Structure 1
Amino acid sequence: METIKKILFVCTGNTCRSPMAEYLLKAMIRQRDDLKLENWQIISAGISAVKGAEANAKVKNVMAELGIELEGHISHSLADIELEEQDLIITMTRKHSRALVLDYPNLSDKVFTLKELSGLDSENKDIQDPFGLSEAVYRATRDEIKANLEFLLENLKKFDLSKQD
């Protein structure tokens, strides 16, 4: 039996970037023949999330353009998550990573930004927050996350998530 790989995406409020990453990665795994979604536990949470908030309306719109529904998404705080059980904690910005490592130094070997892991953009390591901006900015953020996830997915195939200390 294959080990279930646990991935947590983290942003600020868990209503924009991290839910996009969570739902995009799930959809991408479903489309592949070499990976099975049942072997993965992919969730998201926010550093400053208000528990139980829906995904942002603009996020729902731009994700629906790809046939991905976020109607069932509700926000989770990091306090709701068993962080030690996660194999990989993927943040949207370096600030998120630093905050996590400061609060949970024992997790430092599991915390990376999405761009650090994908290797797609060596200049900028952050996915900027589209909150309060136009739907076009949300769409661009979605596409940026998706492009990085495509590279990440190839790297994850090589990355042994079953290693535990």
Structure 2
Amino acid sequence: MAQALLERMLEGRGVDGAIRVRSGGIANYARDGMLASLDARLALREEGIHLAEADFASTDLKRHRHLLAEADLILTMTVFQKQMLGAFAEAHDRSVFTLREFAGEEGDIDDPATQGEDVFRACRDEIKRCLEKSVGRLLMILSG
């Protein structure tokens, strides 16, 4: 959801395509090509973002560590994910934050998987709020 929401925000600011946004997983169950869940797609649809099943696929960052080395900024949902990235040399000199940390807050945004539509909506709204709060900072960092 974060990738789709951020891409929409960047598009609204006229910088879509200028910044590459990529969703990646680091958990043991992360696999290349993992699709966005139906609940995530439905929650995004309520925001006017229509993702077809084939429009989005995640990347297993354990298998594609070069993406970490190429990233200007890495945002995670949880402190644990941030710590897991710290085990990879490719992430050592990268800017890595949790999304809430990047927005000037503390805490995690928990995975809503298997918890139903209301939890997905709440997660979507939390991600959107944090992105709206921090998109200006993101654009400043990435512009140089």
Fold shared per TM-score above 0.5? yes
Matched residue pairs, number? 138
Structure 1 residue ranges (4+ consecutive) displaced by more than 6 angstroms after TM superposition: none
- Of 28, 31, 36 in structure 2, the residue corresponding to residue 55 of structure 1 is 36
Residue matched to 1:88: 73
> Where do 5+ consecutive residues of structure 1 fail to align?
1-19
- SS at 1:127's partner residue? coil
1:118, distance to aligned residue in structure 2 (A):
0.8
Of residues 67, 75, 88, the one that matches 1:103 is 88
When normalised by structure 2's length, the TM-score is: 0.87
Give the secondary-structure state (helix, strand or coil) at the position aligned to 1:102.
coil
Task: Tell me which residue corresponds to 1:157.
Answer: 139
Q: CA deviation at 1:160?
A: 5.0
* Structure-1 separation of matches of 2:90 and 2:11: 33
Deviations 1:14-60 (A, max 9, x none): xxxxxx1111001011112xx41121011111003122221111001
User: Residue 100 of structure 2 is aligned with which of 84, 90, 115?
Assistant: 115
Q: What CA RMSD, in Å, does the superposition of the two structures yield over aligned residues?
A: 1.7
Q: Which runs of 5+ in 2 are unaligned?
A: none
- Equivalent position SS for 1:125: coil
**Residue in structure 2 matched with residue 6 of structure 1 by the alignment:** none
Query: Could you tell me whether the CA contact under 8 Å between 1:127 and 1:144 is conserved in 2?
Result: yes
Aligned partners of 1:101 and 1:108 also within 8 Å: no
Structure with the larger strand share: 1
| Equivalent position of 1:8 in the other structure | none
Q: Residues 106, 64 of structure 1: CA spacing in aligned structure 2 closer, same or farther, 3 A cutoff?
A: closer
Amino acid at match of 2:42: N
What SS is found at the alignment partner of 1:38? coil
User: How far, CA to CA, are the matches of 2:84 and 2:97 in structure 1?
Assistant: 12
1:73 to 52, 56, 67: 56
Secondary structure in structure 2 of the residue aligned to 1:159: helix
In the alignment, what sits opposite 2:115? 133
Distance change (3 Å), C-alpha of 1:106 and 1:21: closer
Q: Partner residue of 1:44?
A: 23
